[in-house]
Amino acid sequence: MSRVHTVSAQLDEPAASIGAKARGLAELHRLGLPVPAAVVVTTEVCRGVLGTGRLPDGLVEEVTSALGSLPQQVSVRSGAADSMPGMMRTVLDVAVHPGGPNAPLADALREVFTSWDSPRARTYRTLHDIPHDRGTAAIVQVMVDGARDDHSGSGVAFSRDPNTGAPAPFGDVLFGHRGDDVVSGRVRTRPLGELAGREPAVWAALTTALDRAERRLRRPCYVEFTYESGRLWFLQLRPAQVTGLAALRIAVDLADDGLIDRPEAVRRTTERDLDRARTPTLAPTGADVVAGQGIGACPGVVSGRVATSADAAVRYAAGGPVVLVRPETSPHDMHGLAAAVGILTTRGGPACHAAVVARALGRPAVVGAADLDVDPVAGTVTTRTGTLAEGTVITIDGTTGQVVLGHAGAVVDDAGPHRDRLLDWADEISGDHTPRPGPDRLHDAHTALRTEENR
Amino acid sequence: MATTTPLDLLVLHTLRCTGHTDLGRLAAATGLPPATVESELLDLAAAGLVVHATGPFASWGLSARGRAADADRIAAELAAAGTGPALTAALDRFLELNPELLDLCTAWQLRGAGGATVVNDHSDPEYDARVLDRFVDLDRRAAVVCEELTAALGRFGRYRPRLALALRRVRAGDLREATDSTTSFHTVWAELHEDLLTTLGIPR
């Protein structure tokens, strides 16, 4: 069995051996989409490295020869069978030359493989029921440069809005920057739609690709992309994780589009999705100004006046509700967090300090709104649509991560019509049309579908 | 040689790391009797370094002058101790543990269920025990870092007992002491993080 595979349309090894990311890249090839040249080193090699502490003889030479034309700058990324976001190492800008010693590539491979056993990764696996003995694959891929010129950039895109389920591409783009600049928070992202005006050809290629990927996977899709001098490349493809209102709406829309049948739409919707679709979320209308987008860290919709420091939050709180807006939070912000009705940060992920504290206090929170910029000294927040002074009213949605100017009125359960139709389909499957609660109707349909499958 | 931090600086600096807080929490964080802390606070207030806010968020906090004075004195203390490099090395090891601790806090508050994330309602003792077990494991590794910190500057020795106490309380059934109270493991951890950054003069 080969330990190094060239990533191509023909690559069809199991995820247990080459990881989910390499399978996504192979799928992109099969869809006829452009992917930078890549090879994958299997999880078997990782298990060996973890045992012996060293790379097997000849591995690096095998990788460089499989990569083909050299020299190149490559990235070395982890890619396990189970998703472990952010838990393992990525090494960028590794120079690979023909023949000669390849110490940087050997070091990068060893670093990625051994990161499987970092304490943080072990903790993550323990919490998510992932066995410790599987190991990760490593993907060595030629780098494309999103910072090359004015017609270069990078971004992430969903085929449908993962917050609301709306049937239009959704995501973030960084003009003139590489993808790793998003993660570092060094540069503010822009809404994906701006790509249409700035790079119409790239936008057209991207939307066509998202549509094609969705038709193949029969699910909403997520891609990571870079465009270099106007040429679009895909770096990752996977099914998009969506829940609640969005999951329900997408299931119904996919059935209407003929990508799945109605029983499949019912099968995909969980009772929890129905439950979550009832959580109040923002449904911005044309009259609302969406000022930014972050990650929902603690559910709930709240409106309040912007305060950019904890002291200001305490001061304003005497006069009404306050949303504390900070780059990130520290213990120094605690009295402001306590005084605020909601929390908005421009950095951090779902496990940052602000998120943990917001959940402890039960305050709706949006974190990592990378398209906003807070200046606590000037007391201003720069948004997609202009600069806000302290005291300006905003509304945040701790489920969808949306930030809207003013008192957004449309805080509703937008899933109504979609839910009604889905539950009608559920009744057709169960044959029970008596009036009863939605979760019961869904549950009966699931039972009928399982009975059918086992027959 | 171990450095002993003067009481007034200890109170001032603890207040810098906890943010606005009350006398009880300051006493717990400094390990000093409340009466001693209060006496120091009154002197610091007379010098214009701390202020007492009234109203619904009544608490002690630093004035702008207090913040500047703390930065100067804490830097001078470190320079006199000559242990900056050791402290910086220990900070690197702390920062390796920090994302894992935040993962654990999140796992304590939320749990994945069928692709979705839901609030952990603590109705599944097996799940809680698994998360807690990882807390204990992390705490063991954090203890080594705390020792290094304490060797560099004695006042860092105050964090270890507070972290251990929080964890003991969680294991005894007080579930708020992991992430959700003002004496929780997460709160003490965040204060230690803040202390390291301010002591080394590293901006956030």
Q: From CA A84, how far away is CA A124, in angstroms rounded?
A: 8
Domain presence at residue A209: yes
Q: From CA A290, how far away is CA A309, in angstroms rounded?
A: 23
Q: DSSP for B25-90?
A: HHHHHHTS-HHHHHHHHHHHHHTTSEEEE-STT-EEEE-HHHHHHHHHHHHHHHHHHT-HHHHHHH
pLDDT in tens, A105-147: 999 999 999 999 999 999 899 888 899 999 999 999 999 999 9
Q: From CA A214, how far away is CA A195, in angstroms rounded?
A: 20
A229, A252: one domain: no
Q: Is there a contact between A243 and B59 if contact means CB atoms under 8 Å apart?
A: no
Mean of pLDDT values over A326-348: 92
A64, A128: one domain: yes
Token pair, residue B100, equals 């894992």
A13, A64: one domain: yes
CATH number of residue A300's parent domain: 3.50.30.10
Does the pLDDT of residue A90 top 50, yes or no? yes
In this complex, the residue of B57, B134, B193 whose CB is nearest that of residue A338 is: B57
Domain presence at residue A147: no
In this complex, the residue of A126, A331, A359 whose CB is nearest that of residue B134 is: A126
From chain B, pick out residues whose CB is under 8 angstroms from the CB of A330. 19, 190, 193-194, 204
CATH number of B7-78: 1.10.10.10
Domain presence at residue A20: yes
A262, A327: one domain: no
Helix (H) or strand (E) holding A296: strand A295-298
A319, A423: one domain: no
A135, A157: one domain: no
A16, A75: one domain: yes
A271, A283: one domain: no
**A78 has which bridge partners?**
A138
Phi, psi of A443 (to 5 degrees): -60, -45
A235, A211: one domain: yes
φ/ψ region of B79 (left if φ > 0, alpha if ψ in -120 to 50, else beta) reads alpha
From chain B, pick out residues whose CB is under 8 angstroms from the CB of A359. 109-110, 119, 179
A249, A307: one domain: no
The pLDDT value recorded for residue B112 is 74
Domain presence at residue A181: yes
Q: How many CB atoms lie within 10 A of CB B133?
A: 12
A229, A249: one domain: no
Confidence of residue A186 (pLDDT cuts 50, 70, 90): low
Q: Is there a contact between A331 and B187 if contact means CB atoms under 8 Å apart?
A: yes
Q: From CA A135, how far away is CA A117, in angstroms rounded?
A: 8
From chain A, pick out residues whose CB is under 8 angstroms from the CB of B17. 331
The pLDDT value recorded for residue B115 is 55
The pLDDT value recorded for residue B201 is 94
CATH number of residue A223's parent domain: 3.30.470.20
pLDDT in tens, A49-80: 999 999 999 999 999 999 987 778 999 999 99
pLDDT tens digit at each of 204 positions of chain B: 446 899 999 999 999 999 999 999 999 999 999 999 999 999 999 999 999 988 777 889 999 999 999 999 999 999 999 999 999 999 999 999 999 999 999 999 988 755 567 789 899 999 999 999 999 999 999 999 999 999 999 999 999 999 999 999 999 999 999 999 989 999 999 999 999 999 999 987
The pLDDT value recorded for residue A411 is 60
CATH number of residue A19's parent domain: 3.30.1490.20
Question: Which residue range(s) make up the domain with A129?
Answer: 4-142
Domain presence at residue A138: yes
What is the nearest CA distance from A330 to chain B, expressed in angstroms?
7
What is the nearest CA distance from A334 to chain B, expressed in angstroms?
7
- In this structure, are residues A309 and A376 in contact, taking their beta carbons and an 8 Å threshold? yes
Domain ranges of chain B: 7-78, 83-200
The pLDDT value recorded for residue B117 is 73
Question: pTM of whole model > 0.90?
Answer: no
CA B69 from chain centre, in angstroms, equals: 20
Confidence of residue A390 (pLDDT cuts 50, 70, 90): very high
Domain presence at residue A148: no
Q: From CA A136, how far away is CA A20, in angstroms rounded?
A: 10
Q: Is there a contact between A351 and B184 if contact means CB atoms under 8 Å apart?
A: no
Total number of domains in chain A: 4
Q: Is there a contact between A310 and B187 if contact means CB atoms under 8 Å apart?
A: no
Domain presence at residue A37: yes
Domain presence at residue A215: yes
A255, A269: one domain: yes
pLDDT in tens, A409-435: 656 555 678 999 999 999 999 999 999
Q: DSSP for A343-393?
A: EEESS--TTSHHHHHHHHHT--EEE--TT-EEETTTTEEEETTEEEETT-E
In this complex, the residue of B20, B104, B182 whose CB is nearest that of residue A123 is: B104
Please give the residue of chain B at the shortest CA–CA distance from A350.
B106
Please give the residue of chain A at the shortest CA–CA distance from B64.
A311
The pLDDT value recorded for residue B1 is 41
Q: Is there a contact between A120 and B99 if contact means CB atoms under 8 Å apart?
A: yes
A122, with CB counted inside 10 A (0-12, 13-18, 19+), is middle
